[in-house]
Amino acid sequence: MGLNREPLSATTSTNLTDSERQIMDEIARRRDELVALASDLIAFDTTAREHNDDPAREEAALQKYLAARLRAAGAETDVWEPAPEDVAGSPMTPRGLRFEGRPQLTARFAGAEGGQSLLFNGHIDVVTVEPREQWTSDPFRPEVRDGNLYGRGSCDMKGGIASMVFAAEVLASLGMRLAGDLIICTVTDEESTGCGALAAVAHGVRADAGIVPESTDFEVKIACRGSLMPTITVPGRSGHAGCPQPHWREGGAVNAIDKASLISDAMRRLETDWRQRGIDHHPYLSPGDIVPTMIAGGEWMVSYPASCRLDYHIAYLPGQAAPDGWGGRVRNEVEEWVMRASQADPWLMENPPTIEWAPEVPAAAVAPDEPIVSITMAASTAAGRPGRVWGTDGWFDGATFTLSGTPTIGFGPGNGSVLAHVVDEYIPVDDLITAAQALAIAAVRFCGPASDAHSDAVPVDRVTSPLSGSSKGAHSSLAGSS
């Protein structure tokens, strides 16, 4: 259908052009189609794996479904199973991780003129439904009740995926060809390891900017904390707890739990040191912290414990990351403070604790003056949901794309801090509609229209954003196609 022309003075305008109003109206008119799409996605059981060798669920079927839809809308699609070596060696990757039955998907709506490219990314895996018996309805048989769509993953984040896919489909159905590529990418394993997005990056998925429609309640998330998870094992020496013990140098028992308290004290002092140095401050994130999460020690109720294990979750800010974006600096700090505490105790000096590091996820931040930030803010306001620029203390796949060169924000429907991972998870249907509208407008404004498109939107490289004086050159990649 034809779209009317009306010049747009800036991509950060909160007013709608005639063509943008048509996009908004078309999405609202096809409301039931969007709900049906989200419901279809929820119905696939894509529960995240807890262990590397957990069998795949219905990830492949879901990706096949989406690929067929996106091809029908005119996209060039690529569905592939990553090879283990694609992600091996990353600090994020557990040893032995494989992707059998868990393919990734990209779909590219090709731009006409080499304009700026935009990535929409979402994860298809969901957390467990347990305790399943507490759900009001079957978590994989979605229902709309009182204006809300219920089902596992409705909020985190199949609702967001439905909105981004539907936005792209509506643009295509209106004949709105963009100057730059619009790339859709859906990945597995965000809830477990983050390695789906890592595999997508290894496959060549990139763009000038990205949006992950996580359930941010329409806030624009430009930063996230990274996390490290060390296990510190403190040695002791066993002995009968009911018998007096000689000095340990004479073969006596050593209480590993007592010695572990010296290490836990050191970890508390390290967190205090962060506060005093002011290195854990960020305008959009909570401070970094060091949280003991598990402790296990001892072998028998009447024996001195021969070992004690301390598990920690360490959240750190982008400014604390190493130059490569990962947590190497923080790891070094932890190891230094543990060593220092050990050197102050004769037993631990000769029998030092060991530290094992679980796979980590990196901190990341997008500059507030990146055009995608202001464009998305304005698009959300124009769609009726003004928000704010903020950060997320959790983690999302946007960090992986950002560190690989695609500045990627979080922005999407639903309040994940309240609705994600809960029994009777839901997303307001109105949020799905608004998110699709805002994402479509953001795509038009960021990528710009093709010169022969029936559109009145102005490409981002023809305007000056109030937050940035110039825009970058376009680049995108979709390695392989089918």
Pull the structure tokens for residue 297: 């020690």
Pull the structure tokens for residue 426: 């839901």
Q: Is 437 strand, coil or helix?
A: helix
Q: With contact defined as beta carbons under 8 Å apart, do 23 and 440 qualify?
A: yes
- Does residue 258 carry a pLDDT above 70? yes
Pull the structure tokens for residue 231: 């296990």
Question: Model-level pTM?
Answer: 0.88
Pull the structure tokens for residue 70: 């996106």
**pLDDT value at residue 395:** 94
Taking the C-alpha atoms of residue 424 and residue 151, their distance in angstroms, rounded to an integer, is 7
Taking the C-alpha atoms of residue 118 and residue 110, their distance in angstroms, rounded to an integer, is 11
- Does residue 473 carry a pLDDT above 80? no
The DSSP secondary-structure symbol of 272 reads H
**pLDDT value at residue 466:** 27
- How far, rounded to the nearest angstrom, does the alpha carbon of residue 204 sit from its chain's CA centroid? 18
Whose tokens are 């994989």? That residue is 140
Instruction: Residue 411: count other Cβ atoms within 10 Å of its Cβ.
Output: 29
Q: Between the CA of residue 401 and those of 70, 199, 381, what are the distances in Å?
A: 22, 11, 25
DSSP state string for 124-140: --B----SGGG-SS-TT
pLDDT band of 278, cuts 50, 70, 90: confident
pLDDT band of 11, cuts 50, 70, 90: low
- 28-37: pLDDT as tens digits: 999 999 999 9
Lowest-confidence segment of 101-105, 317-321, 450-454, 459-463 by average pLDDT: 459-463
Pull the structure tokens for residue 148: 């809300």
Buried b (16+ CB within 10 A) or exposed e, 201-234: bbbebbbbbbbbbbbbbbbbbbbbbbbbebebbb
Nearest alpha carbon to residue 374 among 208, 222, 225: 222
Nearest alpha carbon to residue 312 among 354, 276, 264: 264
- Does residue 143 carry a pLDDT above 80? yes
pLDDT band of 10, cuts 50, 70, 90: very low
- Does residue 236 carry a pLDDT above 50? yes
- Does residue 479 carry a pLDDT above 70? no
DSSP state string for 149-214: EESTTIIIIIHHHHHHHHHHHHHHHTT--BSS-EEEEEES-TTTTSHHHHHHHHTT-B-SEEEE--
Nearest alpha carbon to residue 172 among 107, 97, 244: 107
Taking the C-alpha atoms of residue 293 and residue 290, their distance in angstroms, rounded to an integer, is 9
Residues 6+ apart with CB under 8 A from 343: 349
- Does residue 125 carry a pLDDT above 50? yes
**pLDDT value at residue 114:** 79
- 156-195: pLDDT as tens digits: 999 999 999 999 999 999 999 999 999 999 999 999 999 9
Q: Between the CA of residue 341 and those of 58, 327, 348, what are the distances in Å?
A: 49, 21, 8
Q: How many residues does the chain have?
A: 482
Q: Are strands 182-187 and 118-123 parallel, antiparallel or unpaired?
A: parallel
- Does residue 116 carry a pLDDT above 90? yes
**Structural domain spans, the chain:** 18-224+363-462, 226-357
CATH number of this structure's domain 226-357, picked from the four choices 3.30.70.360, 3.10.129.10, 2.40.50.140, 3.40.50.300: 3.30.70.360
- The fraction of the chain above a pLDDT of 70, given in percent, is 91
Taking the C-alpha atoms of residue 186 and residue 150, their distance in angstroms, rounded to an integer, is 21
**pLDDT value at residue 396:** 96
Q: Between the CA of residue 469 and those of 7, 216, 360, 371, what are the distances in Å?
A: 20, 28, 36, 9
pLDDT band of 453, cuts 50, 70, 90: low
Pull the structure tokens for residue 236: 């002791």
- 202-222: pLDDT as tens digits: 999 999 999 999 999 999 999
- 57-86: pLDDT as tens digits: 999 999 999 999 999 999 999 999 999 999
- The fraction of the chain above a pLDDT of 90, given in percent, is 86
pLDDT band of 12, cuts 50, 70, 90: low
Q: 3-state DSSP: the chain helix, strand, coil percent, rounded to 5?
A: 35, 20, 45
pLDDT band of 250, cuts 50, 70, 90: very high
Mean pLDDT of the chain: 91
Whose tokens are 């039931």? That residue is 32
**pLDDT value at residue 7:** 33
The CATH fold assigned to 18-224+363-462 is Aminopeptidase (3.40.630)
Q: Is 87 strand, coil or helix?
A: coil
